[in-house]
Amino acid sequence: MSKLLYVEPTDEITDLVDRIRRAEGERDLVFVLPPGGRVLRSPLDAQLLMQYTRGFQKRVAIVASEPQVQALAIRAGFPTFPNVSRLEQGMPMTAAPSAEELAAAAVPVAVAALAPEGAVVSAARPAGVLSRRSPSAMVAAEPGTAGGGPPSRGFWHTRAARNWAIGAGSAIFLVGVLAVLLLLPTATVLVGVQAHQLTDNVTIQGSAGTQASNVLDVIPTQALLTPDATKTFTVTPSGTQVLPPTPATGDLYLCYNGGKQIGAGTLQLTFTGSAAAEFQDLSGNGNLGFTPTSAGSGGTYSIQPCSNGGASAQSSSPGLPVQADTNSLGTQGNVAAGQQWFWAPANEQASACISPASAPGLCVTGNFTISLTNPQGMAGGQNSTNQTIFSSSDVASAQQQEQQIAASLTAIVEQNLKSMAGSAVIAQDSSGNGVQLTVTDPTLPTVGQAGHAQTLTVSVNAAATAYSPKAARAAVLADLESKVPSDGALLPNPKIGAIQVVSAGPGGSVTLSSAAVGYWAPRVDLQPYRSKVTFMSPGAARSFLLSQLPGASTVVVHQSPFPLPWLPLLSSRIQIVRVSIAGGSSTA
């Protein structure tokens, strides 16, 4: 509760300062000024009073009825009230009196100064102005003072409530700021570890049926074989050709009638020259002619005289193999047995020689004829006929169809091969080897080949090897890891080159190659150190980690979103990351 201090009209500013100094147990003081008093009549008084108020750590309010005094107190920063009632209500003046109010308040003072001593001045007193009376009388005259006692509710109680609310809000704000400083920041600690380069050239073997295992540089593959894709087409011959006639064959027996007898009467027939002898029928019976075969032209034949004028000497002379002339009538000389013809040998001197048996080589002519007979019939003759054959255009069309069908079926089986591979990759080397296409072509007709329409079938299948690039990369990584020393660890994200197919073929066999580059460093378990560096300063955390991790050469601390003099209080807000620092190299 504020303490009321009543000021006498004769009090000076020093008296008010002395009263402030003596109020040791009181913090809130209220000076009630009488009208016409000496204090707070100049800005200097107001400034001195405020200076001593602050020096003694007091809170002072002013109750004054005079506008001039009110104006000086408000400008100096004192809570100012026109009367005690307003003090009890806790409603200080918010603005100094205006110039008009100050001028109106100055009129009664001027009138009183000019009036004779003892005269009664009847000028009206401004509203709210306290009479020049003793402090006790002034307090008694103020409404709401309850007999002059202190006010029941002072200005400073209301002010204290406001100050408490401001303080509570400030405390909440400070707690929030502290929570943000402790919980929001994160820190990333980069620990540089000396790393060694490791390079590796890997050759990987793949085979079908191999199970995924820990065998180094070996991966399983798939042997792919598509079903046969088939298609048929028809080739029809459109050409024709004339077949030559086939002559009849058989044996002729010779004898002669009339003419001059030579020696014992036996003649012999031999063939001379290159022209084929022709035995032409002179009897006019069918105009048939016969030519000795190649076997017949190479022999010598005896010609005996015909008995009884007929042709009955066949038993005394070997048969002469002949074939019917192709210009003979009928079915190329097919004749029944027992036929008889006559031949004039004089017409055949250029190709045959008839000589006496006693004088071989002496060709003679005479008035005699040769009879020819065939005890057995001649057969086997065939007239000329037309035959259907494959022309050049037929063969070309068949070849074109076969090629088009083979290409179409090849595309089908290649697509089937890809479908069978699925997510795996079909192995093909730089020369294009790896996919085997088997095309089964039919036997195509040839130009001039006789025949009828043919239905031909083309068949195609494909075989290849498929492998998993993921499995191949895993094999390369495993090979690289096998080169790391036992006390080291391969650093993350090594560079693995493209998988190259060295050789490939059907049946699941493939050889792959790749190159890999990585870094290895000594094993360091960083997780336990997260909790050990919490709330350390960045410099202290750096020194601590360097002393505890022999393999570490540098430690860099990054804080987010802003740097602080300490690391986060929670270990979950700290991340320790190993960073490789390239040094020496190791080549495997």
The answer to whether the CB of 547 falls within 8 A of the CB of 581 is no
Do 134 and 266 belong together in one domain?
no
pTM: 0.47
Decide if pLDDT at 338 tops 80. no
Q: At 314, is the secondary structure helix, strand, or coil? A: helix
325 in a structural domain: yes
290 in a structural domain: yes
The domain in which residue 332 lies consists of 245-383
Lowest mean pLDDT among 252-256, 385-389, 416-420: 252-256
271 in a structural domain: yes
Q: At 493, is the secondary structure helix, strand, or coil? A: coil
φ, ψ of residue 437 to 5 degrees: the values are -105, 130
Decide if pLDDT at 508 tops 60. yes
* Strands 495-496 and 229-235, sheet pairing: unpaired
Do 30 and 130 belong together in one domain?
yes
Do 52 and 156 belong together in one domain?
yes
Decide if pLDDT at 487 tops 90. no
Angstrom distance (rounded) from CA 132 to CA 146: 21
Decide if pLDDT at 404 tops 90. yes
Q: How confident is the model at residue 148 (pLDDT cuts 50, 70, 90)?
A: very low
The residue assigned the tokens 């004054």 is 64
Q: At 468, is the secondary structure helix, strand, or coil? A: coil
pLDDT in tens, 188-219: 999 888 788 899 999 998 888 766 566 888 88
φ, ψ of residue 263 to 5 degrees: the values are 60, -135
25 in a structural domain: yes
What the block records as the tokens of 420 is 């069978």
Angstrom distance (rounded) from CA 337 to CA 340: 9
Do 142 and 21 belong together in one domain?
yes
Angstrom distance (rounded) from CA 78 to CA 72: 9
Domain boundary among 127, 162, 197: 162
Angstrom distance (rounded) from CA 427 to CA 501: 7
- pLDDT (0 to 100) of residue 348: 54
Average pLDDT, the chain: 78
The DSSP element (H or E) to which 255 belongs, if any, is: strand 249-257
The DSSP element (H or E) to which 464 belongs, if any, is: strand 454-467
Angstrom distance (rounded) from CA 2 to CA 62: 12
Angstrom distance (rounded) from CA 315 to CA 21: 188
- How distant, in Å, are the alpha carbons of 57, 451, 457 from that of 232? 117, 18, 4
293 in a structural domain: yes
Do 274 and 367 belong together in one domain?
yes
Domain boundary among 356, 383, 410: 383
Do 16 and 149 belong together in one domain?
yes
Decide if pLDDT at 296 tops 80. no
Report angle CA 64, 65, 67 to the nearest 5 degrees: 95
Q: Can you tell me the mean pLDDT for 503-528?
A: 87
Strand partners for 374: 339
Do 139 and 10 belong together in one domain?
yes
571 in a structural domain: no
Do 262 and 369 belong together in one domain?
yes
Query: Where does residue 453 rank: exposed (0-12), middle (13-18), buried (19+ CB within 10 A)?
Result: exposed
Angstrom distance (rounded) from CA 298 to CA 370: 20
Domain boundary among 121, 142, 162: 162
Do 15 and 132 belong together in one domain?
yes
489 in a structural domain: no
Q: Can you tell me the mean pLDDT for 411-429?
A: 90
Number of domains, the chain: 2
- How distant, in Å, are the alpha carbons of 83, 207, 222, 230 from that of 227? 115, 21, 16, 10
Do 379 and 267 belong together in one domain?
yes
Query: What secondary structure letter does DSSP report for 211?
Result: P
pLDDT in tens, 149-171: 334 344 555 556 666 766 777 77
Q: How confident is the model at residue 12 (pLDDT cuts 50, 70, 90)?
A: very high
What the block records as the tokens of 82 is 């026109």
477 in a structural domain: no
Decide if pLDDT at 28 tops 80. yes
